[in-house]
Structure 1
C-alpha cells in the first residue's frame, strides 16, 4: 500500500517512530480504508489509501550531525550537568538544540559509560 512519510506528518493522527511505521500503517488501513466484506482489489485499496492521505503534509526531516563514539562521549561529558544526568532529556537536547543524531540505545549505552565515570 502506498503509505509514506505523510503518516508521520502533522496531519496524521497516527504519528510515531520508524520502528512502528508498519503497525501504524496497518492500523490506518484497517480503521479507515477497509471494512468487513470489502472485496475491492489491491489496486482499489491502494487508490483508497492514496485518497485518504491526500492533502496530508509530509513529516519534517532533520539533517543532524553524526559522531563516532569518542566524540559522542566527549559531548555527553560536556553537557551532562545541563540535564542533571537524565539520559532522555540529554538525548532530546542533543537532537533539538545541538542537531546531533544518535540512536536511542547507543546513546543510553554511552550515557551509562559517562554515569559510571562520575560515581
Structure 2
C-alpha cells in the first residue's frame, strides 16, 4: 500500500479531496511494477479461497486483474462495454428528477448484476 501512496504522490494524482486521477499509472500509462505488486496483494488476500477465474471490466480493471491471475495461476475474463449500454444516448430517465434517483440507479444496477450472476451460475460459468 505504501508503494501505491508513493506513486499517487509522485503522479500528483489527487485532483481534489474526492477525486483521484489514475491515468498516469493505470489508464493511459500502466506501471507494471505497481500492477505486479497489486496483483500479489490481491493474490495474498485471496490465497485461502478457491479462486478459479477472475472477472473484470474492460479498460482499467484489466491490468490489475491480469497480474492477479498470474499470481493465482488462474485465467482472467473481462467484460466488454457494449455501445450505448451505459446510457450515453439517454436524454432523460423517468426517475431522474426524484430525490432518491441515485439509490434507484444503484438498486437497478444491483438487480441486473444479480440476474447476470444467476444466469452465469446456472450455465456453469463458475464451475472449474
TM-score by length of 1: 0.25
* Greater strand content: 2
Q: Which has the higher contact order (CA 8 A, sep 6+)?
A: 1
Higher radius of gyration, 1 or 2: 1
Report the TM-score when normalising by structure 2: 0.24
Structure (1 or 2) with the greater helix fraction: 1
